[in-house]
Amino acid sequence: MKTVYVIGTCDTKEQELQYVKALIAAAGVPVRLVDVSTRGEGRAADVAPGTVAAHHAGGRDAVLGGSDRGAAVSAMSEALVRYLQSRDDVSGVIGLGGSGNTALVTPAMRALPIGLPKIMVSTVASGNVAPYVGPSDIAMIYSVTDVAGINRISRLVLGNAAHAMAGMVRHAVPVADTALPAVGMTMFGVTTTAVDQVRAALARDHDCLVFHATGTGGQSMEKLVDSGLLAGVIDITTTEVADFLMGGVFPCTEDRFGAIARTRLPYVGSCGALDMVNFGAIETVPPQFRERNLYVHNAQVTLMRTTPEENRRVGEWIALRLNRCEGPVRFFIPEKGVSAIDAPGLPFYDPVADAALFAALKTHMVETAARRLVRLPHHVNDKEFAAALVAAYREIAD
């Protein structure tokens, strides 16, 4: 059995870290305590701060040699990433602390493979944890009380976290026994019909991984692309781009499509849900958008219809990034609508706005023998459109 790494700052949280380590060891799991303090160090850590700091690109002194605590913590975080990546005996990682320790430890967790157990017990785990978790599978546990001593609450919370880690390591889920190639797909509620049809058509000879296009969904898919864990992508739902450009709550990053360009994997994409920008509850819609065409998807999500000008921006942005992709690319335009509510008689039906999107794609995408733009007289959720996506993917992936 490999080793669980318990990580934190022993200069302030040694008692709590030792408690977690002891429980994991008592469960029969090898465990090592890593001290990432930047001011002083603990007495009983298995790995001292200097050992971790030495993995920084600038050496130990780049982490521990300055007077700026904030800079030292950031540098230690970078060093921890490199330290864990250098180890071949990691079976799991558990960290604990406040906002500082959470920001220090979670980047290293994010750099580890999907599926490797990761737990962060944190005082900020009940808030917005997206900046800490990112496109990873970190389990965040709210500490309830501060991580400051062992009391009647922290004893339970930290104990549960330690036992959860020990259980995950002792009862590891076997890797799927399949030789089927994995294909990533992006989906939103308004493109579910399309994705379900594509998935059904490919399920016999592909392992279909569907990602919810909520910003981190697209990032998670592209992380797997960069990690070599996907054989190709059918990116039906590129809606995260609209949120990125217009300030929605489910944005992609500037690097959207970057993994496709870097790996040259087979890529089939489309305009799914590019008719909308996502916001939270209706009262959270920014004032400048309150008079726009808004649709309450549910109590927590409000959709805003994109305008022709916004769609031109989206089309150009996507086209310019697809131009960087030198592998096989097929990008499909569904001329009769890009979402379940973009059809005659439905709230987001706007042929003029859709036409602006399609024209921008046509104008800015440079077609080659490998990179093609395909227009079809179908709605994104039509069975004919799904069949065309499947046929294109089989053509370029086989």
Question: With 70 as the cut, is the pLDDT of residue 319 above it?
Answer: yes
pLDDT of residue 41: 66
Mean pLDDT of 296-317: 95
Give the closest residue to 1 by CA, choosing from 23, 20, 24: 24
- ∠277-283-285 over CA atoms, to 5°? 25
Mean pLDDT of 348-371: 98
Whether 102 contacts 149, CB under 8 Å: no
Write phi, then psi, for 260 (nearest 5 degrees): -65, -40
Cα–Cα distance between 41 and 340 in angstroms, integer? 57
pLDDT of residue 175: 76
Write phi, then psi, for 145 (nearest 5 degrees): -90, 170
Model confidence at 65, pLDDT cuts 50, 70, 90, reads confident
Q: Which pair of tokens denotes residue 156?
A: 């339970």
Cα–Cα distance between 337 and 235 in angstroms, integer? 16
Mean pLDDT, the chain, whole residue set: 94
Mean pLDDT of 369-383: 98
DSSP letter at 322 equals H
Cα–Cα distance between 5 and 26 in angstroms, integer? 15
- ∠24-26-29 over CA atoms, to 5°? 50
Mean pLDDT of 230-251: 97
Among 31-45, 109-123, 320-334, the minimum mean pLDDT is found in 31-45
Mean pLDDT of 125-131: 89
Model confidence at 355, pLDDT cuts 50, 70, 90, reads very high
pTM of the model: 0.80
Mean pLDDT of 64-77: 87
pLDDT of residue 299: 87
Domains present along the chain, CATH in parentheses = 3-170 (3.40.50.12020), 182-397 (3.40.50.12030)
Residue 110: helix, strand or coil by DSSP?
Answer: helix
Mean pLDDT of 310-317: 98
Mean pLDDT of 334-339: 98
In DSSP terms, 375 is beta-bridged to: 333
